[in-house]
Structure 1
Amino acid sequence: MIGPSSPGSITAAPVDPVGGRVRLLLLSLYTTQTLALMFFVAALIAILAEAGADMDRLTLVYMLGLVWPAKLLWAPLVDRVRFGPAGHYRVWAIVMQTVMVLVLAVMAGFDPMEDFDTVYALCLVLALASATQDVAVDGLACRLLPEGARGSGNALQISGGLLGTMAGAGGVLALYPHLGWAGAMAVLGVVTATSLVQLLAFREPGTAVAVIAPPPLCARLAGLRRPGVLGWTALLLVWPAGSGMAYALIMPALVAAGWSLERIGLAVNVAGPAAGILGALAAGRIAGRIGRRPALIAAALAQLAGIAVIAVPVLGLMPESGGGWLPAVAVCLYFLFYNPGATVMAMVMMDRTSTARPATDYSLQSTLHAAVGMGAISLGSAIAAAGGAGVTIQAAALAGMLALIGAGLLRHPAGERV
């Protein structure tokens, strides 16, 4: 059981003191930091491919997604550099949000095909600003959300990312034939600017925490030898493996079912994330009441259910009468069952941050977690190519079982600080 006062005991969640204005700000920031990036990583691929771009260009666009894992390299800088009464993480977020808005405004004057090199360079700047803004907002969230508010608070984080995916990779792409490139950049810029307006009106609470220079990464990892942290790190790394391998099978299964790319995009980039938002919000509400370890166990069971659901269309277990709509239901259920785990894991990551280095501590955990998830998708594809989709489902289920066992064995004092 879990609790800040006595490791191994569950304590009742305190009254949530976080106001609606702060929640709306966090939701807005987590949405707009992914909005334009997801448009470029997902929707721009379709735009360039339709215009006849070669594979080298498409590969470069995909590589924009590698910027975010690298944010760990400069996260300590975000923790160290402060701006006095103007705020610490608030100023970082204002600067990065402004950069994103300006980049989108400048990008509207170029053509993605004829001026690809310039557009790509601007995309890279936006990706760097987006990743840095994520570090700053994570640090701000760690400061603003007390333990009892982290369930619903991290549900907003997960929901914001999904909303950004839905709007950027789904909504703006759907409107692109009517908007054109300049119009799409204008929409992305205006929506991104709404978060900037909210930030300018927000005042970050001051703290009396001394600035402590973050030790080298190897020293941070050495801290994993502390009681309870080694088990948490193992869970952090194994958790995304099962769902990642299962996710690798979704696209091939939908293509094999004869779905068009437009229909696949609607299911994977719109309907699925919408279901994921419901799962995240429900998990955030429940987890704050039942405690971290019970919430992790419940989320691990839900993750196993998501893997089982994906097995239905992948292994051809659908009845003939449901072949047209059951794959879409399976995709939605996968997102619904996966995102409670993402929410609860984010809660515990936040519990494991220090007051002096929240951005660095959170970035270290989230980067390791995300790297395993991305690697698991590639691994799932490789296993399916070598041994078939059935073997991949078995491997995913095994990883999911390990996550469930790890959640049951975990002894995590929520009040411990790394």
Structure 2
Amino acid sequence: MTVTVAARGRTMPTLAALYVTQYLGFGFITVGLASILRSGGTSLDTLALLNLIGLIWPVKFLWAPILDRYGPRRGGHYRSWLLVLQSGMVLALLALLAADPATGRLGPIVLICALFVFLSATQDIAADAVAVRMLADSVRGTGNGIQVAASYVGNILGGGVCVVVYDRLGWQAAVGLLAALTATGLLVVWRFREPERIARPAGARQAYGALLSVLGQPGCRRWALGVVPLLYMGAGAAYGLVSPALVDAGWSLQRIGFVTGIVTSVPAVVAGLVAGGLVDRIGRAGVLVAGGGSLAVATVLLLPMLTGRAVGGFTTVALCCFMAAYTVANVALYTVNMDYSRPGTGGTDFTVLSSFGLVCSYLAAALGLTAAARVGYPAVAVAAIVLILAGVAVGVRHQRRFRPATGPAPFPEPTGSPGQRSDEHGVLAPAGEGHQVADVLPAQHPHAAQHPGVGIGDRQ
């Protein structure tokens, strides 16, 4: 079904609202709540348990096919999911009203937070699927920029503003504000009209088959198993050194949380919006080079901090540069992930590709800290720079060979070998091989395709 221009015009505000409200609670849990609990004397072991809740996000691909397969045709397939999930997020936050940490009973807080993270991770699948269906190739970069920037806005509000409200007005006021802001996303979804979904997997087995078949598209393995790991492992290894290095340099936990969770999010918002527009103007490869190159330079700027000279002003600027550069690169990465996401299984495809990057960043952060204990922070940072630059080089080569094809991409997938997929199914076609993009389908049928991050490697 052709998605009208008017429908696409309403998509951007809808996506922005979904991602802002999604990260409101996430920012509060991972940044704000940690500060609140720590100020009340909660042990670091308990705070670590809160961070473990974030591991729900990397494994959300396990239930993504369920959202692609099941859902009512009337009222909007993914819209129906979003109404349920957004309502659940609001109810989970309202449940926190009765779980004041001042009582000392942290068990209910952890359980409710885990439920919220599960709901927000699942909402992310549905939101990504909507983007896959609604975003044309010409605005894919802008859509990604808005999504990434919105996640940082949610982090600022949830991890910063709500903490200020807590400090002045108490727990109920802070959580009540959080629930009210999240409810605005529910109103936006209620007004959103999703075009009728014609193509979807015929059964659960076919839906789960998309977990692997997405990699069968031309160039997707090279992208997902080459470019993505190199860039995310480089960025993850570098960023994983930040908090330990700042602690070693004498920074307080509160100061670290404020700078890394709030201050650095501001330039990241701007970077996300700018990068999104640039993707649509100069292409994925150009933005990848700009973001990856800047990320390597920003990692060099972190070296004084990593050697124990964490001067407040310079270190803060260096961290802001790092997050802004990472955001630019991330927008380019997510745009290519959208290129490989098929509208029939958009939630699964995009989730698989983005989750793999998140897992890589987690592993790199852990391995980087282990290596740092033996060779020191600077050596790990240098290795991270090498990985980032290698990822950029492989990514540029990939983009020269593979280009996004246009046209609708219905389910099911065509038969034949991955390298022989026909263009009408919206896969990436090797540049210079087969039909040219203009020969595939009429121009009025653009290919509809499409972060929190708990850490680097997600939208943040």
TM over 0.5: yes
In 2, distance between residues paired with 1:83 and 1:188? 30
Residues 172-222 of structure 1, C-alpha deviation per residue, up to 9 Å, x if partnerless? 123321132211110110000011011111111223324344547677436
For residues 223 and 265 of structure 1, the distance between their equivalents in structure 2, rounded to whole angstroms, comes to 37
Q: Distance in 2 between matches of 1:325 and 1:170?
A: 20
How far off is 1:121 after superposition? 1.8
Q: Return the offset for 1:324.
A: 3.5
| Greater CA drift, 324-333 or 296-305 | 296-305
Equivalent residue for 1:61, pick from 50, 58, 76? 50
Closer, same or farther: CA 18–240 of 1 in aligned 2, 3 Å: farther
Retained in 1: the 8 A contact 2:234–2:388?
yes
RMSD: 2.3
CA distance, structure 1, for counterparts of residue 64 and residue 231 of structure 2: 23
Structure 2: how far apart are the matches of 1:71 and 1:253?
31
Q: Which residue of 2 aligns with 1:79?
A: 68
Secondary structure, counterpart of 1:85 in structure 2: coil
Instruction: Quote the residue 2:222 is aligned against.
Output: 231
How far has the Cα of 1:115 moved from its partner? 3.1
What is the CA-CA distance between 1:264 and the residue it aligns to? 2.4
Percent identity over paired residues = 32
What's the CA shift string for 1:95-120, capped at 9, x where partnerless?
A: 11101111111220222343322222
1:295-334 maps to which residues of 2 (within 5 A)? 295-315=287-307, 323-334=311-322
Contact 1:110 1:119 in 2 (8 A): yes
For 2:438, the equivalent position in structure 1 comes to none
Is the 2:296–2:385 contact (alpha carbons within 8 Å) kept by the matching residues of 1? yes
User: Offset of 1:413 from its aligned partner?
Assistant: 2.3
Instruction: Look up the match of 2:182.
Output: 192
Q: Could you tell me which amino acid in structure 2 is paired with residue 88 of structure 1?
A: H
Q: Give the C-alpha shift of residue 25 in structure 1.
A: 1.6
Paired position in structure 2 for 1:3: none
Distance, in Å, in 1 between the alignment partners of 2:360 and 2:344 is: 27
Partner residue of 2:427? Answer: 417
Equivalents in 2 of 1:302, 1:364: separation in Å?
A: 27
Q: How does 1:344-383 map to 2 (within 5 A)?
A: 344-383=332-371
Matching of residue 279 in structure 1 with residue 259 in structure 2: no
Q: Does the 8 A contact of 1:101 with 1:189 survive in 2?
A: yes
Q: Is residue 154–residue 347 contact of structure 1 (8 Å, CA) maintained in 2?
A: yes
Gaps of 5+ in 1: 1-15
Task: Report the CA distance between 1:170 and its aligned residue.
Answer: 2.2
What residue in structure 1 maps to residue 84 of structure 2? 95
Does the CA-based 8 Å contact 2:148-2:272 persist in structure 1? Answer: yes
1:325 is paired with a residue of what secondary structure? helix
> Deviation per CA, 1:198-256, whole angstroms, max 9, x where unpaired?
11111112233243445476774366355312211211222111111111222234334
Shift of 1:403: 0.5
Equivalence for 2:137: 147
Query: 1:83 is paired with a residue of what secondary structure?
Result: coil
TM-score, with structure 2 as normaliser:
0.81
Change (3 A) 1:27 1:389: same
Number of aligned residue pairs: give it.
400
The whole-number CA distance in structure 2 between the counterparts of 1:148 and 1:359 is 20
Distance, in Å, in 2 between the alignment partners of 1:124 and 1:221 is 28
